[in-house]
Copies of this chain bind each other. A is one copy, B any other.
């Protein structure tokens, strides 16, 4: 069902990172559901977590562990979010970290736990910990794709991407995997993202790079406006390439560009695989007074069920778009100054249908799997661009059937 999205090409190994995946029996269908990611000693790690006040046990524990020591292992299970599980959930997440620590010979605080899946069910702890020794034994630099599969829930395809580029003439690698299809909106929803590079960056620098990249990519997508309890996005820098990235250097700018490109690719993959998606929609808002008001308009349009169902139908119903712009809450918005384009076609000008516009043009601009909506507010220089998908029967089916 994913829109223009296939399984990723081979993912490039990152020196200093090994991965393993297993079917531990957490998912009922016997699919891969557990992944372990090992980072070489000396790796730096930056991480961003959900802003939902209701956050899962592994998120709470991972935040604590990050403050204590540099992570060596990331343990990720799918099929169960370990959220809404109270004290028991925290104890279970801790037990998982201890199991990795025992098998791998590190401190429990050097293990970060991540979970995704159903909320409110106890973690099947024995199944999970029982699978860990084998996971540690089978760690492999080529394990990225298997790990991408093991973290899937309602995703229909694994998501991953690699970029190889040069910094100061020396090759470095950046590889990442992601999962997420529903409960997606800025603040990263049911989304888990693991990124690693063999370049060397200092902790604060790495964190700043990740924040910037996420602001322009994962924080610019929405499937259904819901924000998950488990979102996390992690970037590790192993330094395994021997290439150091000095803060503020041209190399850092290049690294930032590549990171943003990779994150953009993964963020779009999440939307393309949005639950029930049949259309990939770009909402571009230009001519706002501030970027914040452009985002306000873009999300009002992108999360309007009426706009989303019109996209599903391939119906150029610009009235619904204009109505969503009108209710976005912008002070003193002059609707007569607003223009709306679908692809290259201008639909709305001067508060109504553009005189030269014909329905067939709009229908043609919505016929394909990719829809580009451009909204000109005509009151400033700011702009933004977000990605979303349509609302189809299958979104309802998936979310009415998933779970329990």
Contact = CB atoms under 8 A, between A and B. Distances in A.
Nearest to A224: B305
Contacts of A333: 53
A300 B306 CA distance: 18
A119 B310 contact: no
A54 B348 CA distance: 12
A313 interface: yes
Nearest to A316: B404
Interface stretch (A24-32, A68-76, A142-150, A391-399): A391-399
Contact of A401 (B55, B306, B313): B313
Contacts of A303: 225
Contact of A351 (B51, B84, B309): B84
Nearest to A81: B319
A315 to B, nearest CB: 6
A358 interface: no
Interface residues of A, number: 64
Given A333-B53, A335-B53, A404-B315, A399 B323 contact: no
A326 B403 contact: no
A320 interface: yes
Given A319-B84, A323-B226, A396 B393 contact: yes
Contacts of A335: 53-54
A88 B392 CA distance: 35
Interface string A379-400: 0000000000001110111011
21 contacts: A52-B327, A53-B327, A53-B330, A53-B333, A54-B325, A54-B326, A54-B327, A84-B318, A84-B348, A85-B352, A85-B353, A119-B319, A119-B320, A120-B317, A225-B305, A226-B304, A312-B400, A313-B401, A315-B403, A391-B396, A396-B396
Given A53-B326, A224-B305, 8 more contacts: A53-B330, A83-B323, A85-B353, A86-B353, A226-B305, A229-B323, A309-B399, A317-B403
Chain A to chain B: the 6 pairs with minimum beta-carbon distance, closest first:
A119-B319, A54-B326, A86-B352, A309-B399, A313-B400, A227-B327
